[in-house]
Chain A
Amino acid sequence: MSEQDIIEISCEHVIQEISNYIDGEITLELRTRMEEHIRGCKHCAAVLDGTSNTLRLLADGRTFGYLFDLPAGFSERLRLRLASNSEGV
């Protein structure tokens, strides 16, 4: 596809698809149009970068245990409850 063939796309359309873009859930054609737009649009580039960074923070949160650490003693309490429960099953 040559540059002239790329149909312009609006900011609204780019934002609507930005999450799918990050997940790779769009066609190659739409991806090309979005990338062409983002190259020339500071606003959409900032939204893409910010959203990507947010996801990286969330993923880091998992890696380093920032978020959703099991409360202390969770496994032990669960073990005990399961043990007393399965006796009755």
Chain B
Amino acid sequence: MPTTATVPNQREAGLIARIKAGEHDLFFELIQPYQRTVYAAAFSVLGNPSDAEDAAQEAFLKALTHLGQFRAEAKFSTWLVQIALNEARLRIRKDRKGLYSSIDEGGQDEDGEYFPIDYADWREIPSETLQRKELKQALERAMAALKPIYREVLVLRDIEHLSIAETAAALDITEASVKTRLLRARLMMRDALAPGFDGSWSVGSPTYKKVRPF
């Protein structure tokens, strides 16, 4: 659960009121802390940096234009994420061809049961022994292989650390759906990243360190 920091929220509310009253040049200050989250949200739908930047920038412009419609009872960051997701989806609809791909086109329906591949034990985590570049590529490949509905929850929950309720609000789905999709997304990521899957984890030191992070 993210803690609600009262002081920044009051500051945010103050900025929003001033911008609504006409001080538009304060808008960048308001959105500055959320640039990455908004970009990540757009990326989660579109799957590539240049489209994600276009959609994220457009989302910020729309947020400025429509700030008058923002209601104080909503969380500003969630509202921004919603706009970014909508903007990104608009682009998918405009250009459907090959924006993203899936390893398993037929096997990722939300309803069906997904059972993780029975790899050898992965108690050890090789991150300390891996080159950063290699890790980044492995994560990117695994994420690129997810369908957008799974990538979206994974990015919002596990990278941007939105709560389940915030993720549900941003995606306009139920919390139960968030949980279902998250399970599938996490298991697919685990399967894609499990050592030995494509040999990428076998380089480096053979002695992995056992980590139980949770």
Q: Which residues of A contact B (CB under 8 A)?
A: 12, 15-16, 18-20, 22-23, 25, 42-43, 45-47, 49-62, 64, 66-68, 70-71, 74-75, 77-79, 81-83, 85-86, 89
Q: Which residues of B contact A (CB under 8 A)?
A: 24-25, 27-28, 32, 35-36, 39-40, 43, 49-50, 53, 56-57, 60-61, 64-65, 113, 115-116, 118-123, 125, 127, 132, 135-136, 139-140, 143, 154-155, 158-161, 164, 179, 182-183, 186-187, 189-190, 193-194, 211-214
Determine the distance from Cα of A62 to Cα of B211 in the docked complex, in whole angstroms.
19
The reply to whether A25 and B122 contact each other, CB–CB distance below 8 Å, is no
Query: For residue B179, which residues in chain A have a CB less than 8 angstroms away from its CB?
Result: 19-20, 23, 25
Query: For residue A79, which residues in chain B have a CB less than 8 angstroms away from its CB?
Result: 28
The SS class assigned to the A binding surface is: helix
Determine the distance from Cα of A71 to Cα of B27 in the docked complex, in whole angstroms.
20
**B142 CB to nearest A CB, Å:** 8
Q: Which of B39, B60, B132, B190 contacts A68 (CB 8 A)?
A: B39
The reply to whether A19 and B39 contact each other, CB–CB distance below 8 Å, is no
